[in-house]
Amino acid sequence: MRYPGFSRRSFAGGAAAALTAPAALAAPGLLASRQAADTTAEQAADTAAAEVRRITLYAEELPGGLLGYGLAPGEASVPGPLLEMYEGDTLVIDLVNTLDVEVSLHVHGVDYTIDNDGTRMTDSIVEPGGTRTYTWNTHAPGRRGDGTWRAGSAGYWHYHDHVVGTDHGTGGLRQGLYGPLVVRRRGDVLPDKQFTIVFNDMTINNRAADDAPHFTATAGERVEVIMITHGEFYHTFHMHGHRWADNRTGILTGENDPSRVIDNKITGPADSFGFQVIAGENVGPGHWMYHCHVQSHSDMGMAGIFTVTDRNGNVPGGPMPHGGTGQAGAASGGSHH
Amino acid sequence: MRYPGFSRRSFAGGAAAALTAPAALAAPGLLASRQAADTTAEQAADTAAAEVRRITLYAEELPGGLLGYGLAPGEASVPGPLLEMYEGDTLVIDLVNTLDVEVSLHVHGVDYTIDNDGTRMTDSIVEPGGTRTYTWNTHAPGRRGDGTWRAGSAGYWHYHDHVVGTDHGTGGLRQGLYGPLVVRRRGDVLPDKQFTIVFNDMTINNRAADDAPHFTATAGERVEVIMITHGEFYHTFHMHGHRWADNRTGILTGENDPSRVIDNKITGPADSFGFQVIAGENVGPGHWMYHCHVQSHSDMGMAGIFTVTDRNGNVPGGPMPHGGTGQAGAASGGSHH
Amino acid sequence: MRYPGFSRRSFAGGAAAALTAPAALAAPGLLASRQAADTTAEQAADTAAAEVRRITLYAEELPGGLLGYGLAPGEASVPGPLLEMYEGDTLVIDLVNTLDVEVSLHVHGVDYTIDNDGTRMTDSIVEPGGTRTYTWNTHAPGRRGDGTWRAGSAGYWHYHDHVVGTDHGTGGLRQGLYGPLVVRRRGDVLPDKQFTIVFNDMTINNRAADDAPHFTATAGERVEVIMITHGEFYHTFHMHGHRWADNRTGILTGENDPSRVIDNKITGPADSFGFQVIAGENVGPGHWMYHCHVQSHSDMGMAGIFTVTDRNGNVPGGPMPHGGTGQAGAASGGSHH
Nearest Cα to Cα of residue A278 among B118, B89, B144 = B144
Bridge partners of A262? A244
Question: What's the rounded Cα separation, in Å, for the pair A176 and A62?
Answer: 9
pLDDT band for position A321 (cuts 50, 70, 90): low
Chain C residues with CB inside 8 Å of B241's CB? 111-112, 114, 117
Chain B residues with CB inside 8 Å of A257's CB? 149
Candidates B113, B114, B123: best to mutate against A (most CBs of A within 10 A) is B114
Closest Cβ–Cβ partner in B122, B174, B234 for A286: B122
The residue in chain B having the minimum alpha-carbon distance to the alpha carbon of residue C169 is B295
CA atoms within 13 A on the CB side of C58: 16
The yes-or-no verdict on residue C310 having pLDDT over 60 is yes
Distance from the Cα of B312 to chain A's closest Cα (Å) equals: 37
Chain A residues with CB inside 8 Å of C235's CB? 268
φ, ψ (nearest 5 deg) of residue C17: -65, -25
Q: Report the pLDDT averaged over residues B157-164.
A: 98
**Residue of B230 and A336 predicted with greater confidence:** B230
> Could A114 and C288 be called an inter-chain contact, meaning their C-beta atoms sit closer than 8 Å?
yes
pLDDT at C26: 37
The yes-or-no verdict on residue A210 having pLDDT over 90 is no
Distances (CA, A) of A189 to A39, A158, B148, B151, C145: 12, 20, 8, 15, 41
3-state secondary structure chain A: CCCCCCCHHHHHHHHHHHCCCCCCCCCHHHHCCCCCCCCCCEECCCCCCCCEEEEEEEEEEEHHHEEEEECCCCCCECCCCCEEEECCCEEEEEEEECCCCCECCEECCCECCHHHCCCCCCCCCECCCCEEEEEEECCCCEECCCCCEECCCCEEEEEECCCCCCCCCHHHHHHCCEEEEEEECCCCEECCEEEEEEEECCEECCECHHHCCEEEEECCCEEEEEEEEECCCCEEEEECCCCEECCCCCCCCCCCCCCCEECEEEECCCCEEEEEEECCCCCCCEEEEEEECCHHHHHCCCEEEEEEECCCCCCCCCCCCCCCCCCCCCCCCCCCC
Chain B residues with CB inside 8 Å of C246's CB? 260
Neighbours of chain C (3+ CB pairs under 8 A): A, B
> Could B141 and A255 be called an inter-chain contact, meaning their C-beta atoms sit closer than 8 Å?
yes
Distance from the Cα of B140 to chain A's closest Cα (Å) equals: 11
Candidates A293, A296, A327: best to mutate against B (most CBs of B within 10 A) is A293
pLDDT at A126: 98
> Could B282 and C252 be called an inter-chain contact, meaning their C-beta atoms sit closer than 8 Å?
no
> Could C241 and A139 be called an inter-chain contact, meaning their C-beta atoms sit closer than 8 Å?
no
Question: What's the rounded Cα separation, in Å, for the pair A253 and A129?
Answer: 47
Chain C residues with CB inside 8 Å of A234's CB? 234, 266
pLDDT at B49: 76
> Could C111 and B282 be called an inter-chain contact, meaning their C-beta atoms sit closer than 8 Å?
yes
What percentage of chain A carries pLDDT values higher than 70? 81
> Could C167 and B266 be called an inter-chain contact, meaning their C-beta atoms sit closer than 8 Å?
no
Q: Could you tell me how many residues make up chain A?
A: 337
pLDDT at C268: 98
> Could C282 and A119 be called an inter-chain contact, meaning their C-beta atoms sit closer than 8 Å?
no
pLDDT band for position A313 (cuts 50, 70, 90): very high
pLDDT at A319: 81
pLDDT at B6: 28
Whether the CB-CB separation of A156 and A127 falls below 8 Å is answered with no
What would the pLDDT profile of C323-334 be if each residue is shown by its tens digit? 445 443 333 333
pLDDT at B11: 30
Q: Report the pLDDT averaged over residues A255-272.
A: 97
> Could B282 and C144 be called an inter-chain contact, meaning their C-beta atoms sit closer than 8 Å?
no
**What is the interface pTM, i.e. ipTM, of the complex?**
0.86
> Could C258 and A248 be called an inter-chain contact, meaning their C-beta atoms sit closer than 8 Å?
yes
> Could B286 and C117 be called an inter-chain contact, meaning their C-beta atoms sit closer than 8 Å?
yes
Candidates B190, B214, B260: best to mutate against C (most CBs of C within 10 A) is B260
pLDDT band for position A48 (cuts 50, 70, 90): low
Whether the CB-CB separation of B34 and B27 falls below 8 Å is answered with no
H or E element in which residue C12 lies? helix C8-18
The residue in chain B having the minimum alpha-carbon distance to the alpha carbon of residue C174 is B295
> Could A287 and B114 be called an inter-chain contact, meaning their C-beta atoms sit closer than 8 Å?
yes
The yes-or-no verdict on residue A43 having pLDDT over 70 is no
Whether the CB-CB separation of C227 and C197 falls below 8 Å is answered with yes
Distance from the Cα of C271 to chain A's closest Cα (Å) equals: 14
The residue in chain C having the minimum alpha-carbon distance to the alpha carbon of residue B296 is C232
What would the pLDDT profile of A175-192 be if each residue is shown by its tens digit? 999 999 999 999 999 999
**Residue of B159 and C34 predicted with greater confidence:** B159
Mean pLDDT (chain B) is 85
Closest Cβ–Cβ partner in A121, A145, A170 for C39: A145
Q: Global pTM?
A: 0.87
The yes-or-no verdict on residue B3 having pLDDT over 70 is no
The yes-or-no verdict on residue B236 having pLDDT over 50 is yes
Chain A residues with CB inside 8 Å of B248's CB? 258-261
Chain C residues with CB inside 8 Å of B324's CB? 119-121
Q: Report the pLDDT averaged over residues B207-213.
A: 90
Distance from the Cα of C134 to chain B's closest Cα (Å) equals: 13
The residue in chain C having the minimum alpha-carbon distance to the alpha carbon of residue A148 is C41
Closest Cβ–Cβ partner in B109, B144, B270 for A293: B270
Distance from the Cα of C182 to chain A's closest Cα (Å) equals: 20
